[in-house]
Amino acid sequence: MCPVKKSFAVWNRPKSELRQATQHSNAIHNEETTPLARIKWVELQGNPEGARQLTFCELDATLPFEVKRVYWIHALSAGEGRGQHAHRDTQQLLIAMSGRMQIRLSDGVRTDQYLLDSPIRALWIPSGLWRDIVVLDDDAVLLSMASTHFDEADYIRDYDAFQVFADNQRIEKIGN
């Protein structure tokens, strides 16, 4: 289990503060070479103005991976926790289709958080990161595009096991 619990103070901050924290966090990580630095915001194309808005994702042009699986989590309640796992191989693109979600990602050493609050902006999450998701609004919908088909062996569902996995990844990179 991730040592940072759902009551983490950032989740109770106003939306404007969360956005500022995310921008500051992204600026810090873009200057570093940590696993968290690989996380990218993806601005989706479309017509985001007017009464009828359209947003699209051209998979081969927008994503850094081939999509093998698409799923969405819906009928979510504010305060509900999701995620609480890592993927060994799967990369994901997450989009808040409706409502807001706080995404906390950890590489085993550092933890960073991101606010998903718009269907025109997606968060690309590379493999090897622990994720905790807290739903901020009732009836939120989270869309995920994944680089692999479902495989239970790809999941690390215990935080202590993830720490061992992350340590091994760091040692492997140092050796190369």
Residue positions annotated with a catalytic role: 85
Whose tokens are 């050493």? That residue is: 109
Q: Which residues of 29-65 are buried (b: 16+ CB within 10 A; e: fewer)?
A: beeeeebbbbbeebebeeeeeeeeeebebeeeebbeb
Specify the 3-state DSSP secondary structure of 162.
Answer: helix
Residue 167 phi/psi, 5-degree rounding, is -60, -45
Find out whether 66 and 91 touch, Cβ atoms under 8 Å. no
Specify which residues 164 forms β-bridges with.
none
Decide: residue 157, CB within 10 A, 0-12 exposed, 13-18 middle, 19+ buried: exposed
Whose tokens are 């495989």? That residue is: 151
